[in-house]
Structure 1
Amino acid sequence: MKLKNTLGVVISSLVAATSLNALAQGQGAVEVEAFGKHYFTDSSRDVQRDGELYGAGVSYFLTDDVSLGLSYGEYHDLTSKDPVGAGGHKNIKGSLTSLDAAYHFGQPGVGLRPYVSAGAAHQSIGQANRGGRDRSTFANIGTGVKYYFTENFFAKASVDGMYNIDADEGEWMAGVGVGLNFGGGAQQQVAQVEPTPEPAPAPIVDNEPEPEPELVRVELDVKFDFDKARVREESYSDIKNLADFMQQYPQTSTTVEGHTDSVGTDQYNQRLSERRAQAVREVLVNQYGVESQRVDSVGYGESRPVADNNTEEGRQVNRRVEAEVEAQVR
């Protein structure tokens, strides 16, 4: 694939991403980037001077911190060390395809996120004085830092060490890049409140007064670990009780409300509360069979604490998802 075609695909992806309702960073997010790197070659390659690698890549976040990325780049400005014929120094062409996993430090969101990476690469490069192409397999390690100017736009700087397994040689690169992050987190669902139909009047028998309807209610309070949106195993029985009640009274519906403590930014806590509410909703719908149109979810971030956020005990109480269902029975 030619470099201009590769960059065209990435640029098209960047434009498309900006036109979407881009979601937050985190698990499930996709990053696309364009980069330029300075290539410091091993002396045994008969290269007169180091060159540049220009390319693009795409990464998928397996968790909030771990991503798996594929990149492609083409070399420029590489020339042979010795003159080749009357034409002078030979221009050397080549490409590098890499697959790397990266671990990011810090919290997703606006600001600085250092990272370390490791992976493998395949290099196809012209040979200076022998003709043909040299194809080599590399083991990569690297480190760098990304700065997120917004939730979706970032710049990065990196240093990569490259070990040529076939030739037993070491090389390295240093570079910069820019990119977009989109697609992570859970989209907030707008709660829809359906009007409760008025109960039909019961016929009067023998002039005896009709018993007053009794209001019954089931409440749900699910706690979460710090900075997590995974439902704990011990909470499933409480969620099942709510699902059983809704199955018993099919006219009911509910809104699942997510909350966080005050640690972190308002933006990050808002998205975390939405993910927690969505996680409980998915258990109700997908595992216990409540119809999806009867369960909405909404996140309130850190705006509705029920305990003191200045203590660990209070913050644990505030990391919660709440829901309630009411029904009238006679």
Structure 2
Amino acid sequence: MKKEYSMVPLRKKILPVLLTAVFLFPLAAHAEIKANSVELSPFIGYHFFEEDQNLKDDFVFGGRAGYNITNRFAIEGALEFINTSVDDKNQAFTTEGQFTSPIDDVKMTSYHLDVLYHFMPEKKFNPFIAAGYGAAHYSPKINNENLSVISYGVGAKYWLAENIGLRADLRDNLVVDDTFHNVEATLGVIFRFGGASEAEAAPAPVVRREPAPQPVKKAEKKVVAAPVEPAYTVLEFDDVYFDFDQSTLKPTAKIKLDEYIKLLKENPKAKIRIEGYTSEKGTAEYNQDLSEKRAAAVKSYLINEGGIKPSRLKAVGYGQDDPKAYEANPDDIRSRAAKKNMRVLFEIVVQ
């Protein structure tokens, strides 16, 4: 009579493997699967034979070679080897595909072609599902042909460096000819070659550069773009003005800064230098301190009211140096030249 198969022993074998997989990989950190890349992965693991096949569970080793068609879909081939032996030598033959005495040592070679789907390709931790088709060759043979195998299961990749990672797989290798479910758990190392991330593969943004403006004399600077070194574009904003001996922002200055906040949010890579200046009235030491306070007031407004990151801002004061306009009479604090010099200047570099 054919031996009745029970799933209980198989479940007991799978449970420790699942628990190991859960604790093996931590939560995801940032990284990604690269499209058009090749992955080579030697592995070792353990193969659990179905009880009716009468083979001892044993180690399996082999290798995989895969190609990432996109960052989500991949195709790979696998070759693996197992050296095992008959489990119960006193058992009588009861079902097709079963090994019994006088056979002792059994070698199995299998190969299959699989398709993988990655669930989080942009992360450092990449869980996936896999399914494929192949064949298993037993020596000594069970029959005159290799046995067809459908392989399916789950796994995960964890990248230790840009092109080196770890991999875990849990597969059910269904022997189609004899309906054996042989479960396999493996761990391997991944070596990746070539490919490009999604960000690298995307076309670079087009930066439009305005021609250098001709120098003109105006009361206010308009937003212009001036070419500098090839890697940067320098933008200048209208100056923000202050009252004499004051570092408090005027309502008109806040309106301008609100406009600049919108522009800065549209250019998140911009790094800003905020330069404070004063008129020539007063001592150099006093004016230096006042110019720093003016620059700091603008920086504080951009951070607190606009939500601009402090790491993007640098505030400096230059006192009465480098005036915007020449002051013929520094004591005249209401002169047009003095008002032009009581300002904060912006310089923004976009990488």
**TM-score using structure 2 length:** 0.44
**TM-score using structure 1 length:** 0.47
Look at both structures and tell me which one has the larger radius of gyration over its CA atoms.
2
